[in-house]
Structure 1
Amino acid sequence: MSMLGRCVIYIIGLFILSLGVVCMIKADTGIAPWDALNVALTDNVGLTVGSWVFIVGGFIILVNSVIKRKFPNLAGGIPIIIIGLFVDLLNLKVLTFLKFDAALYQWILFLAGLCILAMGISIYLRAKLPSVPNDELMLAVTERTGWKIYITKTIGEASALILAVILKGPVGVGTVIVMLSIGVLINFFDKLLHQIGFSSTIVHAARNEEKSV
């Protein structure tokens, strides 16, 4: 695949990811742990949610460098800048009309957002360009420990959940659902896309992990 094609897939994947994030924010049923943390920081400190996507992501880059015992991957700043811009654009400008009072519609929006988020992650990783620090953390821990991907993703989400609760972020039933299911959904979409002909960094990591067991 050409660099141009990879860049297109990368941007599309990050946009889809951001769309999923905003849909869950608008659903108001409890949002993904990392996003709940970003919203909590916005409410307690100020700045936009997109700004905190970048700031928190920068901190995770440092954590990843410790786990990998390598120099911080500064290229990881690229996707969090893009996501931060997309999230603020969609949340504050484009999707301001998304507001439901009926619980049924809120949960439909939430579940749609969750699936969109997982699909976006699976798509953008295929470009093999700089990963979102959160997802790089998932892959780094998987590589370091040999644990399955859904386990490492769940651990990362649980850590963010604890911080969001401490900061009194928008944590709800939906947050717990994301924490328990996001890793499984990413794995599902990853395998689905792999079966229709798209190679995957995650699939390769999983296979290497299975061979080492």
Structure 2
Amino acid sequence: MHQKLSAPRRLPRRLPRRLTQLYVGLLLYGLSMALFVRSDLGVMPWDVLHQGLARHFGLSIGAWTIIVGAVVLLGWIPLRERPGIGTVSNVLVIGVAIDAALAVLPEVHALAPRVGLVVAGLLLNAVATALYIGARLGPGPRDGLMTGLVRRTGGSVRLIRTGIEVAVVLIGWALGGTLGLATAVYAVGIGPLVQVFLPRLTVPEHRPVPAEVPADTLAA
């Protein structure tokens, strides 16, 4: 007869770390957006839309970030996507963070510092993206829209994502958003950079273990 040893029913899920990582990532994401705005060399693709809406209709970029995120989140309903706490937090926190950062970051006029802002914004955005995705508490509303469309239409991730971002960039540019070299740099560079940081910043997933484990099994 096997001797039974007590073992925890479930390993710790590291929720405090995941929540901390989520909100640090979202705050840094908002800061990275503000760095692109202050560079005046172009903004991230979705921010071309946010900036265009802000210039055309008023309100701040952060306010439009929240409004657009909420509208996109409503688009999850027919796609039957399920938001998590990270999804809702993404809608609210990033918009507040970019407005707070823009309130303290001064305008920059010399070209060299503006290029530096783009480089810093790109690197910071990659780290921030890896942080909030790696927390595994739900995708951002725009990411969920993409994956939902991929699942429902059977299209490729590359085609669906490119189509969405081209559409929002063109609409934002028509409304007065800043489309520039930094927009292209972001589009080309963000994927490889996130791929570097994401494995290092993803919180490991713990699996449940049996309540009792035979001693000879553990010894083996």
- TM-score range, shorter-chain basis? 0.7 to 0.9
Deviation at 1:26, TM superposition (A): 0.7
Q: Which runs of 5+ in 1 are unaligned?
A: 201-213
CA offsets per residue over residues 132-182 of structure 1, 9 Å max, x none? 21222344345554735x665444332221111221211112112223332
Q: Which runs of 5+ in 2 are unaligned?
A: 1-12, 206-220
Partner of 2:71: 59
Deviation at 1:187, TM superposition (A): 2.5
Partner of 2:95: 84
Are residues 14 and 125 of structure 1, via their aligned partners in 2, closer, same or farther at CA, if it must alter by over 3 Å? Answer: same
> In 2, Cα distance between the equivalents of 1:199 and 1:140?
25
Greater RCO, 1 or 2 (C-alpha within 8 Å, sep 6+): 2
For residues 25-104 of structure 1, the aligned pairs below 5 Å read 25-66=37-78, 69-70=79-80, 73=83, 76-92=87-103, 94-95=104-105, 97=106, 99-104=107-112
The letter for the 1-side match of 2:76 is N
Partner of 2:14: 2
The letter for the 1-side match of 2:90 is P
Using structure 1 for the length normalisation, give the TM-score. Answer: 0.78
Partner of 2:118: 110
Deviation at 1:54, TM superposition (A): 0.9
Are residues 27 and 134 of structure 1, via their aligned partners in 2, closer, same or farther at CA, if it must alter by over 3 Å? Answer: same
The letter for the 2-side match of 1:46 is G
Aligned-partner SS, 2:75: helix
- Say if 2:61 and 2:99, in contact at 8 Å, map to a contact too: yes
Are residues 118 and 137 of structure 1, via their aligned partners in 2, closer, same or farther at CA, if it must alter by over 3 Å? Answer: farther
Query: Is residue 2:140 matched to residue 1:132?
Result: yes
Answer 1 or 2: which has greater helix percent: 1
For residues 97-176 of structure 1, the aligned pairs below 5 Å read 97=106, 99-141=107-149, 143=151, 145=154, 147=156, 152-176=160-184
Using structure 2 for the length normalisation, give the TM-score. Answer: 0.75
RMSD: 2.5
Deviation at 1:130, TM superposition (A): 3.2
> In 2, Cα distance between the equivalents of 1:141 and 1:20?
27
Partner of 1:183: 191
> In 2, Cα distance between the equivalents of 1:115 and 1:154?
21
- Say if 1:40 and 1:167, in contact at 8 Å, map to a contact too: yes
CA offsets per residue over residues 107-141 of structure 1, 9 Å max, x none? 11112101211221111112222322122234434
> In 2, Cα distance between the equivalents of 1:155 and 1:178?
16
> In 1, Cα distance between the equivalents of 2:126 and 2:24?
13
The letter for the 1-side match of 2:54 is T
